[in-house]
Structure 1
């Protein structure tokens, strides 16, 4: 969008605020697609939903490419963006449900890897054919090829075995599991676990949205918190906002030519796609939580360093008033801006980027998975929209970068204390992690409560002893006073007797 925004602004002669509004509309359309995708996939299947999504995406792209007026272009864009939102909500769920446990993390992150390489390919196309007069029609035509191929390829893909079990088609599910796992015994064991999970969930008798929001158990609420948290974190670290307006950071670093900006944008996306791909190889070896903590830590450090450099350049511009002279005065800060931006992108892409979708797709029970994952995607996109509204109406790069850095500290604490590790666990067993977490917290809370009760009882007993001691002391003092009085009375009587005797 950063490259497209520049051409849209130039061709349509619109302002920055209008570009921001256009980006906001795109977010809302994606949110709509994500919202409806979960329920649709529960009814017609993950496989069919992906196939229809690819078909609609192809139609939308062709409408934009062949349109002769802005109205048809707008309709095509609406169809496209709703399809994108649907695909984002369903593809990771489908892959998580069909993958073996040992490689589920790597495989589930592949849609994110494909998105990043697709984005990179789009920028490369922009770079090499930017001189063509029919540039828009040519690029849109290229864009229609990939969803069409995906739609054709989906015909060869099997349906999710877990969805098939939900529909009572255990035989078909077993055939797919035998192709997925190494042995028939393992496939049969996994089928039995899925059937047990489906049997348990069907006895609840509640709708999915009711179970997610109205009648949720404590551990389902914990799952929702984790999904909302990791998706908000991904946006709160600023990756989409910074990339969307990366051209402005390049300008701070002294890059003024449009071709140079596009070149560095391509470099940024090469780094992003490469580290996404590298991260997929470690998700099932290192674990989700460790990669997240390392990624968030590195991202926070890079944001701090980038913010310092941008702040120095901004202050120099304000004092000197000449950007060229300020760049000469602070060459080191200018020189570090782009490398720090690349390191920041690498840090996010090596953990937070791919893990958000993986974690969200695997922690919910089967009955809640599709729509629970959609909740995470919606939270991700709403957060992105909110951040674009907050930071970009009066955009200041330094303020945005330091704000994202502060979010990094809260993100680290959230992952460390709230999110359990899911690596290596079967999909049907992951919910037990959240039950165990709740039981541990409840047990710990009960122990703490018992300790507090014991402390209160001990304090009460000590107070009682003090009161008794005071009472005993008071009685003793009263006895001494009475004895003293009696003694004095006896002495007085003796004196009287003595004086009275002859």
Structure 2
């Protein structure tokens, strides 16, 4: 409710602003509410959703933010103050929303939590089972007694560190695949594709946003059928391929422009590359929007246990925003569209490896059980490492025994050789003495 109120005030200030200073104040107030909403909404939805639809529902805020950004693209500044009405209505609507059952249990209101769980789960038995799991998680949280930030950074266990790495990684991935930067370069890509009219550029921009929103919505329906990790790997692979193909086409067109010096003639010479640019851009947007787009927020918020969820997810949001700011600062100054495309293509290979080796699959697990995946992962790695260490120790011992046998054999061979030499000397001495006796005899 506080977030919606701040957003209404900030939007109204920008709409009524008569100078840049007031616009800046309105934007600052808005950013306070936006930063809060980016953390609050996914955590709330995750905690109140049944397991069967948690992924789809948690990704909805991303879709709605995108749709509102697309709508604002077509509004003038005079209509900016209209933005206060959605936030005002949302603030009023919050009064009809139930509290998170996890939060209620933390406040000692298990009866209220059970009522909400019965409304969101299919059966009373399932709701009772979930309530018992939540109460156990809250009990563990209270027994731990540690400050959350201290547990995240100072006294973190190996599996909590694994969670943090996954959250930081998935949020960096969302920026490292370059969707925001490539969309900012989209007008240049359209120009390379022969689109010069402002109206045509606007039309293609609208098409790009429609493709992005459509693929985002479609992906939410596959999160529970395919799984987070499989869908993410498939889309990252497709994204990398699209970036490689788009970069090649842009590079061919740029080289032709530099050699010929006439864009129209270079387009005629490499019309196939020109024709592929826009479809490849749309396929790239579709790949990102149907993969890391909806999965990043879902995965980041569901992997933490209850006591670490909000703070851990907030760290991921901060990292995502900082990464986006850093990439914007780097690529929007001195780099060209082709350089940006190839740079993000290279990132795609590292991103694929990170997801494949580091991130476990969370599909099909209850919210209170997902953190156990990371404990199991750590135990498996520790067990595997211990087995490997024992194998190494066994191999070293076997090598040492073999070396000892070789040394003993060499020593035995040396003793045998020395004995033969001594015997030979004695034989020769005896023969020499015999000859002397023979010669000395009458």
Q: TM-score, normalised to structure 2's length?
A: 0.95
Structure 1 residue 249: Cα displacement: 1.7
CA contact (8 A) 1:66 1:137 kept: no
Mapping of residues 168-183 of structure 1, within 5 Å: 168-183=108-123
Alpha-carbon displacement from aligned partner over 1:315-371 (angstroms, at most 9, x marks no partner): 111111222222222222112111111110001111111000000010000010001
Structure 1 residue 138: Cα displacement: 11
CA contact (8 A) 1:65 1:136 kept: no
Structure 1 residue 189: Cα displacement: 1.1
**CA 1:164/1:135 → structure 2, altered by over 3 Å: closer, same or farther?**
closer
Q: C-alpha distance in 1, partners of 2:71/2:380?
A: 60
Aligned to 1:284, what secondary structure does the other structure show?
A: helix
CA RMSD of aligned residues (A): 2.1
**CA 1:387/1:449 → structure 2, altered by over 3 Å: closer, same or farther?**
same
Q: C-alpha distance in 1, partners of 2:209/2:72?
A: 21
CA contact (8 A) 1:275 1:346 kept: yes
Q: C-alpha distance in 2, partners of 1:214/1:364?
A: 17
CA contact (8 A) 1:219 1:435 kept: yes
**CA 1:481/1:360 → structure 2, altered by over 3 Å: closer, same or farther?**
same
CA contact (8 A) 2:185 2:337 kept: no
Aligned to 1:285, what secondary structure does the other structure show?
A: helix
Q: C-alpha distance in 2, partners of 1:496/1:134?
A: 121
CA contact (8 A) 1:292 1:352 kept: yes
Gaps of 5+ in 1: 1-50, 116-132
Alpha-carbon displacement from aligned partner over 1:224-273 (angstroms, at most 9, x marks no partner): 11111111111101101111232222222222222222211111000000
Count of matched residue positions in the alignment of Structure 1 and Structure 2:
433
Alpha-carbon displacement from aligned partner over 1:76-114 (angstroms, at most 9, x marks no partner): 011112211211122111111100011111111111121
CA contact (8 A) 2:70 2:209 kept: no
Q: C-alpha distance in 1, partners of 2:326/2:433?
A: 98
Structure 1 residue 137: Cα displacement: 14
Q: C-alpha distance in 2, partners of 1:79/1:255?
A: 38
Please name the residue that 2:161 is paired with.
221
CA contact (8 A) 1:65 1:137 kept: no
Q: C-alpha distance in 2, partners of 1:333/1:445?
A: 50
Q: C-alpha distance in 1, partners of 2:366/2:372?
A: 10
Gaps of 5+ in 2: 76-81
Q: C-alpha distance in 2, partners of 1:400/1:83?
A: 32
**CA 1:137/1:276 → structure 2, altered by over 3 Å: closer, same or farther?**
closer
**CA 1:134/1:155 → structure 2, altered by over 3 Å: closer, same or farther?**
closer
Structure 1 residue 168: Cα displacement: 2.0
**CA 1:52/1:391 → structure 2, altered by over 3 Å: closer, same or farther?**
same
CA contact (8 A) 1:108 1:358 kept: yes
Deviating more after overlay: 427-436 vs 251-260 = 251-260
CA contact (8 A) 2:193 2:277 kept: yes
Alpha-carbon displacement from aligned partner over 1:454-501 (angstroms, at most 9, x marks no partner): 111111111100100000001001111111111111112212222222
**CA 1:138/1:492 → structure 2, altered by over 3 Å: closer, same or farther?**
closer
Q: C-alpha distance in 1, partners of 2:73/2:120?
A: 42
Please name the residue that 2:134 is paired with.
194
CA contact (8 A) 2:38 2:317 kept: yes
CA contact (8 A) 2:17 2:23 kept: yes
Q: C-alpha distance in 2, partners of 1:457/1:297?
A: 45
Deviating more after overlay: 242-251 vs 442-451 = 242-251
Q: C-alpha distance in 2, partners of 1:208/1:69?
A: 43
